[in-house]
Structure 1
């Protein structure tokens, strides 16, 4: 089977490389010519463990190719995946201009039965709009060519995307016809052979499943952060609370870890989009509005702890930040807590030194010379008044605390991910502040 994947961002490139690894002939399409040239030269534009090897292997073996125009390969493919960006508009709704552009190109150029699969995260009802755009273009051409639109939302976690794609806990496919179901079943047959769950639904349900799943996970995070903040006020330990409720089989232990707020490309965008979809249908998602509000405030928690510790005077204080990406194993800083903290510290007159094993270049692109960039995690803490941990990278888990204490001006550590032991840190001579205990 031959497929095209439009968009070589995080979802498109991972999906294309993984389909190629399963034996499918794939063309990844992107209008950015420099990006395509770079990919052909083996330069991967995003950081994802194992992705560079997978792309290079399948490109070298001829199963994965790259192009700058969908038209150039449309005659040779059976299924087109649309994996273009859907950034949020100012009002929180998803911007569908790129999705519709793919649909127009598809309608203007197909010559045989083909399927357009929406892989991007899009609001409920998008497939209907896509179908209308395609049919309009076919009518303009005066041709009668059958086609199908399918919804196949992605559930990839940054840092483990290849594993998630190759060994999914479920594959959701929204279809309207038996013909589309047969073709998608053929494409996903390798997954069926391994007994992975491929769930066929109607299209609106498939579109909703993606938003509902991410919104539920975001809700759990904000709920635990709310509980953590209350634990501090009443003298409880959120880590013990988390373990206590996580053993309830009705609740489970996933996404119950308190922290300094969620970020990234999915949760913030999807929560906003679902709230907006509800508003467009004269309904208010009150729980999700609270989830979003809690998360925005949680991103300020570490700054508030630091601010209170120094009694409101952070001018000329030197602060180290470990971790810039919104989570470990990625260089993604979209909606990252680090950006909020940096802005607050700069506004308070502090000097900032940052270190992240992967996201330093991304931070330079976003923040520029407003902060100092350390050469390593130990260089970052030299003569600082406090250390803030924002991202739980593995190399931060067992640092040389004796050396760090001697390097710091004041032994203050504020842990935004609760990865250190409070008792041990106090025994080492640190003032240690964390979330919810």
Structure 2
């Protein structure tokens, strides 16, 4: 049976804006208040998906969430019609409205942690939506995320779903952005690497920015997914990386099959980590590409999102391919690093640069925009909805964006009822296009 890694990219939402909500995310903070272009952002994301399809990859999409979140506004005591609640909330707290109108759901690397069936005790693919407890604007995402995932991957013989972890920031879980998987082939049993920023019940005095993922949360996900203890590794992210703006580990590290590409400062004890991975991956030729800080300063890695690239195995192409943000080619150290990788006799043989600037300005590169899932042919046949892309669906989605999205949104536009109506109208149509049913609160 054939296996593949499928990338489910988040569609940039119609309320995409630069409100600077993510503390510890350098790009988000530095672009606060700038003009955003949701139409351009959504089309850039679809162009990335089109490029990967052109390489022969299987590509899917996940829908934006309904924003502003009416459920969140009601939970804060606002009543009346949708427009009345928004008006009252904007008068009471524009900051609250900015949080409940965030389009951060585009970064589907944070949507959930997934363990493929080859790794789990019951032979099913397991999903745990991330609670994203560190940031309020993201902590409200998981109920809709869970609905979407259950619709696309129906609970049953092949797929198993769990609730988001309880416990607030003590059990902070940021999803696949802090999770890597090593394997010989996607259908083979693999090793899960969970990266955490701090212990749940410890005071991390070495952190300036929050350590969003906790060790205890990572262990809880591994337990409920039924992973073998000997095939799950837990490692602390280097506080220096978090303090430099690597709020998730996927800003400084990326893995694919037997290759691990990461910055020297990504982990506290990289030598020991490589030994542990080799021991758990016995019989597999692991390839480690550790980039020294003398070659690429940590600040350059965070600025360009060199490691927030997608590392993919392209069918029929020898070696692996990096899918990079265009910013990597604009900084001398990162550009030279990629050129050396491709020209050497190493495992990475190709580099493709793509424009995802609308996402990058908010702190999300190519890897942030995708949730990757190893699926068999039988798994693919069991999927619900219509979220795996083909040329026809891509064209339909591009036309949908052109029809509904604004080309200019400022933070002060978030209180505009017209923007809300436009967004809900667009998403209602999208659920029909993707055959998702009534997944949104405004549709209930």
**TM-score, with structure 2 as normaliser:** 0.29
Larger Rg: 1
Does 1 or 2 have the higher relative contact order (CA < 8 Å, sep 6+)?
Answer: 2
From the two aligned structures, give the one with the greater helix fraction: 1
**TM-score, with structure 1 as normaliser:** 0.30
